[in-house]
Structure 1
Amino acid sequence: MKLLKRVLLLLLIVIGVVIYLNYPKLNIISGYAAKNMASGVYVAHRSAASMNQYDNSAPLIELASTKVNKTESSAASTVYGLMERKAVYRDGLGAVLINDDYDPEALKIRPRRNQPIDTLPYPFGQAEPVDTIFSEVDMDLINKAVAMAFAEPETQKTRTLLILYKGHLLAEKYIDGFDKDTPILGWSMTKSVLATYYGILEHQGKLEMDWPAPIVEWKDDERKDITLDHLLRMQSGLAWEEDYTGISDVTRMLFLDSDMTVAQKNKEAIAEPTEIWNYSSGTTNLLSGILRQQFRSHQEYLDFPYASLIDKIGMYSMVMEADIAGNYVGSSYAWANTRDWARFGQLYLNKGNWNGEQLFDSTWVDYITTPTAHSNGTYGAHFWLNAEGKYPDVPKDLFSCNGFEGQYVFMIPSKDLVVVRTGLAEEPYFDVNGVLSNIVKALP
């Protein structure tokens, strides 16, 4: 009996320690589930059942129980009844996790959008794409590549694939429950969109990449020499922990902070600018805050992404979600359907020109595709690169927008090619090199 009591006591101690160590993580788990659910239902117009079955079934996240309240456009999650988190949907600004700082009356303005319907065929307009036959393209290989991307649905988890060649729709495929109109969360593909606003402002003569970051708190310390270029290249030298497996800088920012632009700003310098490369979602949200400083009013800031880029190139499905303070979460939270993500890639293949209008300088593409020191040729300025052959059977001029769980917009200028793939799994489960190499082989 004494032995049994000791075993039970030991077991209780172990359980207590496990709960103590993991209880704070419940905040992140329920926060992720609630935010993902609210965005999926109200931005992407997916069913709550589908979101629970697929998107919220990831390890640990599956522990959350999430319910939708359509009366108040919200979603709430708990983990075994503990640590409830709630996310609410705001038209035009997407879903946001709320906390004690949230005041539903504080942010009444919304981004103004202009979405004229034209007669130009996709991707340059809103009409259906023109059927085009390219005699030089091996469609058997194209079809083989598409089939390869969907061959193992349980592990690859590909949802959509689209191929543009010479500005024409060559192929597209969607799994059941998704189609050309279904918005997809880009996760960190959003970083590339955020960076593009800087290219647009540079083209308009309103800022330069070598300007010091306009952060008052840095002006009298070792951070004063950090430039916009250093931030866009993730080489500011600031401390940051990008770890999604537990409580870290990035998970605290995304699931606890009311103002996501300050997390990176408050970090100390651990190296001189350019000495290290450190991928940081906090840096992108800091850039979103700096972007806001460029405008006289909050309304102008909210309008700018749509007026200067998103609606300008017909990405009408795109929604940039904002935090409680009304800052765009440039690190992670842009939604758009697959065709609209491809429009963004086509804009970059066109070196910033869209139907005759130059949105950013052609040299901006050279800038964002120039490899950043210490990134092993994999990173430019908020875009990923193949400069040193990460994908060995794909041209080295490939550059891309990459997002969590295998969201990709690939651009290969030498092949006049854009490939968009979305899903719930990335490498090694999804063979990027294999799929892209088959597509490339099909082209002259």
Structure 2
Amino acid sequence: MRSFLEMRSGLEFEEDGADKQNRLAAYNPFGNLARLHAGGLSAVEGQLAVLPQNRDGFSYQNVNTAVLGRLLSEVYRQPLHDILAQKIWQPAGAAEAFWLRHGEASEVTAYCCLFATPRDWIGVGRFLMENGSRAEPFLRDDLWQEFFGSGLGRQDLVDGSYGLHVRHNILDRQGQALQGPFTYMMGQGGQIVYIMPEKDLVVVRFGEQHSLLHSTLYSAWNSLTAGNVSAQ
């Protein structure tokens, strides 16, 4: 299960899985990924195979998340969208989210795409940052610490690290008031949820284009410290 969470399962499924740009350039409308998009995990189960020589090597592939979604549904004996609502969305005080489906009667697409407002993503970010509540933690403390990148070295953060289905990086630009590691989730259109537990900071960025990874955080922090916006 951990190998799927870290994109190190060794599945041989998507071409050039570790290089997103090359994969998109060589996209095959009749390949495994297209069939996963069109028919869900059930449409490609017969083609899933783990190559032992690929185990432990990082390769970002949507199918890893699809497998995890199916696993959660089997363990909890509930549809994935109901699990999300009960475990995260409702406790975070967020409104209903809309998840892409392969059809009205089909399961949701675990790896893409979850549609919600920036306000709700802020609530979800704070829920994760605070690990639920003291009365009802969302994760065991050791897992929560790992989720936010504890144990990662500075160079891991500088290079950019992928953890338990979230990414980690570090703010280290000279002359900036905000410094330190952060965890983030990135949407397909450049939407980002930034989380910095040490600063009690959650920043959500929506826009029509991708932005430089660090710039949004620097800008948000400078606005906060200048008293221009309320803290979230």
SS at match of 2:94: coil
SS at match of 2:112: coil
Deviation at 1:312, TM superposition (A): 2.5
Match of 2:186 among 402, 421, 424: 402
The answer for the alignment partner of 1:380 in structure 2 is: 163
1:233 to 1:365, Cα distance in 2 relative to 1, 3 A: same
1:351 to 1:251, Cα distance in 2 relative to 1, 3 A: same
Q: How does 1:100-115 map to 2 (within 5 A)?
A: none
Q: Do structure 1's residue 244 and structure 2's residue 27 form an aligned pair?
A: no
Larger Rg: 1
1:293 to 1:262, Cα distance in 2 relative to 1, 3 A: farther
Deviation at 1:301, TM superposition (A): 5.1
Q: Do structure 1's residue 279 and structure 2's residue 63 form an aligned pair?
A: no
Tell me, yes or no, if the aligned pair for 1:383 and 1:401 is still in contact at 8 Å.
Answer: yes
Deviation at 1:277, TM superposition (A): 0.4
Q: Distance in 2 between matches of 1:349 and 1:310?
A: 14
The answer for the alignment partner of 1:416 in structure 2 is: 200
The answer for the alignment partner of 2:7 in structure 1 is: 234
Q: Identity, % of aligned pairs?
A: 21
**1:366 alignment partner AA:** Q
Q: Distance in 2 between matches of 1:414 and 1:403?
A: 24
Tell me, yes or no, if the aligned pair for 1:320 and 1:335 is still in contact at 8 Å.
Answer: yes
What's the TM-score once normalised by structure 2's chain length?
Answer: 0.75
Aligned-residue CA RMSD in angstroms? Answer: 2.9
The answer for the alignment partner of 1:353 in structure 2 is: 133
Deviation at 1:261, TM superposition (A): 5.6
1:326 to 1:401, Cα distance in 2 relative to 1, 3 A: same
* Higher share of residues assigned helix: 2
* Consecutive unaligned residues in structure 1, runs of 5 or more: 1-227
The answer for the alignment partner of 1:13 in structure 2 is: none
Q: Identify the range of structure 1 (343-352 vs 228-237) with the bigger mean alpha-carbon deviation.
A: 343-352
Tell me, yes or no, if the aligned pair for 2:128 and 2:138 is still in contact at 8 Å.
Answer: no
1:407 to 1:304, Cα distance in 2 relative to 1, 3 A: same
Deviations 1:114-144 (A, max 9, x none): xxxxxxxxxxxxxxxxxxxxxxxxxxxxxxx
Tell me, yes or no, if the aligned pair for 1:410 and 1:420 is still in contact at 8 Å.
Answer: yes
The answer for the alignment partner of 1:267 in structure 2 is: 49
Q: Do structure 1's residue 291 and structure 2's residue 72 form an aligned pair?
A: yes
The answer for the alignment partner of 1:440 in structure 2 is: 221
Tell me, yes or no, if the aligned pair for 1:321 and 1:328 is still in contact at 8 Å.
Answer: yes
Q: Distance in 2 between matches of 1:423 and 1:415?
A: 24
Deviation at 1:300, TM superposition (A): 5.7
1:377 to 1:263, Cα distance in 2 relative to 1, 3 A: farther
Deviation at 1:285, TM superposition (A): 0.7
Tell me, yes or no, if the aligned pair for 1:369 and 1:399 is still in contact at 8 Å.
Answer: yes
The answer for the alignment partner of 2:109 in structure 1 is: 329
Bigger relative contact order, structure 1 or 2 (CA pairs below 8 A, ≥6 apart): 1
* Consecutive unaligned residues in structure 2, runs of 5 or more: 18-22, 227-232
Deviation at 1:334, TM superposition (A): 0.9
What's the TM-score once normalised by structure 1's chain length?
Answer: 0.41
The answer for the alignment partner of 2:119 in structure 1 is: 339
Tell me, yes or no, if the aligned pair for 1:415 and 1:443 is still in contact at 8 Å.
Answer: no
Q: Distance in 2 between matches of 1:313 and 1:380?
A: 22
Deviations 1:58-114 (A, max 9, x none): xxxxxxxxxxxxxxxxxxxxxxxxxxxxxxxxxxxxxxxxxxxxxxxxxxxxxxxxx
SS at match of 1:410: strand
Tell me, yes or no, if the aligned pair for 1:261 and 1:282 is still in contact at 8 Å.
Answer: no
Tell me, yes or no, if the aligned pair for 1:261 and 1:287 is still in contact at 8 Å.
Answer: no
SS at match of 2:76: coil
Q: Distance in 2 between matches of 1:300 and 1:318?
A: 14
SS at match of 1:353: coil
Tell me, yes or no, if the aligned pair for 2:88 and 2:124 is still in contact at 8 Å.
Answer: no
Q: Distance in 2 between matches of 1:338 and 1:405?
A: 13
Tell me, yes or no, if the aligned pair for 2:35 and 2:43 is still in contact at 8 Å.
Answer: no
Q: Identify the range of structure 1 (405-414 vs 242-251) with the bigger mean alpha-carbon deviation.
A: 242-251
1:400 to 1:327, Cα distance in 2 relative to 1, 3 A: same
Deviations 1:7-37 (A, max 9, x none): xxxxxxxxxxxxxxxxxxxxxxxxxxxxxxx
1:336 to 1:282, Cα distance in 2 relative to 1, 3 A: same
Tell me, yes or no, if the aligned pair for 1:230 and 1:236 is still in contact at 8 Å.
Answer: yes
Q: Distance in 2 between matches of 1:252 and 1:424?
A: 28
Q: How does 1:66-145 map to 2 (within 5 A)?
A: none
Q: Distance in 2 between matches of 1:416 and 1:330?
A: 29
Tell me, yes or no, if the aligned pair for 1:378 and 1:384 is still in contact at 8 Å.
Answer: yes
